[in-house]
Amino acid sequence: MVARRRFNYSELLTDVHRLATGLVRAGIGPGDRVGIWAPNRWEWVLVQYATAEIGAILVTINPAYRVREVEYALRQSGVAMVIAVASFKDADYAAMLAEVGPRCPDLADVILLESDRWDALAGAEPDLPALQQTAARLDGSDPVNIQYTSGTTAYPKGVTLSHRNILNNGYLVGELLGYTAQDRICIPVPFYHCFGMVMGNLAATSHGAAMVIPAPGFDPAATLRAVQDERCTSLYGVPTMFIAELGLPDFTDYELGSLRTGIMAGAACPVEVMRKVISRMHMPGVSICYGMTETSPVSTQTRADDSVDRRVGTVGRVGPHLEIKVVDPATGETVPRGVVGEFCTRGYSVMAGYWNDPQKTAEVIDADGWMHTGDLAEMDPSGYVRIAGRIKDLVVRGGENISPREIEELLHTHPDIVDGHVIGVPDAKYGEELMAVVKLRNDAPELTIERLREYCMGRIARFKIPRYLWIVDEFPMTVTGKVRKVEMRQQALEYLRGQQ
């Protein structure tokens, strides 16, 4: 359901068959790469399922990409056809594709949504016998999707996922949420990412639940309106999305009583935010999921019968049919319960590899099939996992390894802080010092570093108390709502230089 357009599953299947037939007649077959460059909309779902039906590989392109990035993705994955919107917000996709097309040797066709060519492609008379013959030749281990990870110091890597990877993950996530055909899932998270297309679309479809698309891009008011109008039972989001929804001036005007569950994932969830989601958004069954694109994405998940403390303090237990372990990053040896180490996982969810990059693949998947995530975690005696941060996000101050996560949790308990993050900045004496980067409530009084340090005193160890404070209006974010800490560090250095 989106933009007042509604499908039942029979209608959706027919339209998927139409588009799949159109793609085959356009020369697309098993293993061919088809790119989609668009925000959330109903056609996106058709393209996702039609390419899967014929064994093509869907290359999901970040809507925030511009010329250099989209050219890299198209060339690196060898995309043969791109389906795109002509424009979105201030981005002219049609013009960018016209510019990069001649430099992409495999790109044979560009189809713009809402064009006559799209109507012809998506309106083909279904050739069911031909589609069935194609499907019979496919295997669950065949690649079905390439997603590009967020690059910082280098170009992004193309995570290659199979039918078995993502269909199992979507289905099992839905099972743990107790989805049935009576559920209506509000999906404001982007489809180009696993959160939207796997945990959203595939979890819904594999249980006969409704997919509700509130807006092309995230809009907190449109999201709550969709929940209210469509009587949604489940709502997805990263923590920043829930913070934005809870912060709407007219939040209490929305009727959210139909909600029972949902997923918060994609970034560390502040304890106070989770408590508000449960109490103020009527989501007693909300689940925390943890994972990464390379693991399809979910590795651990809280269950409906987990206590609130478990759901606000951990990312749950290992998912069905998966293995997890926590290892010493230096030795690779499994650490005892309660000791922080690197989180690793093995099983059906681990990606096939990075597209055309065996060297990078071997750096993260070892000879025994374990995916090394780069995340710091600890597992308690009952198997619940707590994420302590990224290995590369650790701040080393005077020889002390400090995880920003603990300090960020404390910042979220401050009555005047809406959201806060902690980074390390260079320091001549200690090597690195701690900086708190925060957003304040609109009516908050002035907050100084002295007052913040006073608030922290006695609540955390003295060496963990931030030395610097930077108050901002916005954080640098990815499209999926994750904070870009690399960019934040660069901006922080400029800010500090300006203060000197």
pTM of the model: 0.84
Q: With 60 as the cut, is the pLDDT of residue 2 above it? A: no
Between residues 185 and 393, which one has the greater pLDDT?
A: 185
Average per-residue pLDDT for the chain? 94
Q: What is the reported pLDDT for 43? A: 98
Q: What is the reported pLDDT for 416? A: 96
pLDDT tier for residue 152 given thresholds of 50, 70 and 90: very low
- State mean pLDDT over 121-150: 96
- Domains of the chain plus CATH, in order, are 9-138 (3.40.50.980), 165-391 (3.40.50.12780), 400-499 (3.30.300.30)
| Residue 106, CA distances (Å) to 24, 279, 406, 447 in order | 17, 52, 48, 55
**What would the pLDDT profile of 289-308 be if each residue is shown by its tens digit?**
999 999 999 999 999 889 88
Q: What is the reported pLDDT for 1? A: 52
Q: At residue 474, what are phi and psi to the nearest 5 degrees?
A: -145, 155
pLDDT > 90 fraction of the chain, expressed in percent and rounded: 81
Cα(93)–Cα(111) distance, integer angstroms: 11
Cα(85)–Cα(37) distance, integer angstroms: 7
- Residue 387, strand partner residues: 377
**What would the pLDDT profile of 318-365 be if each residue is shown by its tens digit?**
999 999 999 998 899 999 999 999 999 999 999 999 999 999 999 999
Between residues 414 and 273, which one has the greater pLDDT?
A: 414
Q: How many residues does the chain have?
A: 500
Could you tell me where the beta strands, DSSP code E, fall in 330-450?
A: 341-347, 353-354, 371-379, 385-390, 395-397, 400-402, 417-427, 431-440
**What would the pLDDT profile of 200-249 be if each residue is shown by its tens digit?**
999 999 999 999 999 999 999 999 999 999 999 999 998 889 999 999 99
Q: What is the reported pLDDT for 462? A: 85
Q: What is the reported pLDDT for 153? A: 38
Q: What is the reported pLDDT for 392? A: 76
Q: With 90 as the cut, is the pLDDT of residue 184 above it? A: yes
Q: With 70 as the cut, is the pLDDT of residue 368 above it? A: yes
**What would the pLDDT profile of 420-469 be if each residue is shown by its tens digit?**
999 999 988 888 899 999 999 999 999 999 999 999 998 887 889 999 99
- State mean pLDDT over 3-26: 95
